[in-house]
Structure 1
Amino acid sequence: MENTKILLLDDREENLISLRAILNRGDIEIFETTSANEALRMVWENDIAVALVDVQMPGMDGFEFAETLFSNPKTREILIVFVTAISKETTYAVRGLKTGAIDYLYKPLDPYITNAKVDSLIRLARSQKEIRDKNKMLENYATIILNSPDIIATVEPETGKIISINPSVEKILGLVPSDLLGVTILDSLVDPFNSGFREVLVKKSYLNGETIVVEDRFFGRLRQPVWLELRIMYKNRLLFINLHDIEKRKAHERALIDAQAQAEKARKVKESFLANMSHEIRTPLNGIIGLGNLLNATQLDESQRDLVSMLRQSSGSLLNILNDILDISKMDEGKFSIVPTATDLRQLGKGIIDLMQFKAEEKKLELSLHVEETVPENVMADGMRINQVLLNLVGNALKFTQKGHVKLRIERISETENGHKIKFTVEDSGIGMSEEHMSNIFSEYGQASENTSYQYGGTGLGLTISQKLIRLMKSELEVNSRFNEGSQFFFTLVLSSTKEKSLDNTPQALFQDLPPFDGESVLVAEDNPINALLLKKYLKTWALNPTMVVNGKEAVDMLKKHSFDLIILDTRMPEMDGFEAARHARTFLGVKTPILSLSATVLPEEVAQALQSGMNDTLSKPFEPEKLYRKIQSLLFAEVK
Structure 2
Amino acid sequence: MSPDSHAINLLLVDDLQENLVALEALIRAPDRRIFTARSGDAALSLMLEHSFALAIIDVQMPSMNGFELAELMRGTERTRAIPIVFVSAAGHELNYAFRGYESGAVDFLHKPLDPHTVRSKVSVFVELFRQRQELQEAKAQLQRAVSMRDDFMSMIAHELRNPLNSVYLQAQLRRKMVGGPRQPDAQAMLRMVERDERQIRSMVRLLDDMLDVSRVRTGKLTIVPAPFDLVASAQVVVEAIQEQGKATGVQVTLSAPPTLEIVGDEFRIEQVITNLLTNALRYGQGKPVAVAVGLREEVPEAFVSVRDQGMGIAAADQERIFEQFERTEGAAQVAGLGLGLYIARQIAQAHHGRLEVRSAPGEGAEFVLSLPLAAPDASA
Which of 1 and 2 has greater Rg?
1
TM-score, normalised by the number of residues in structure 2: 0.49
Q: Which has the higher helix share?
A: 2
Using CA pairs under 8 Å that are at least 6 residues apart, name the structure with larger relative contact order, 1 or 2: 2
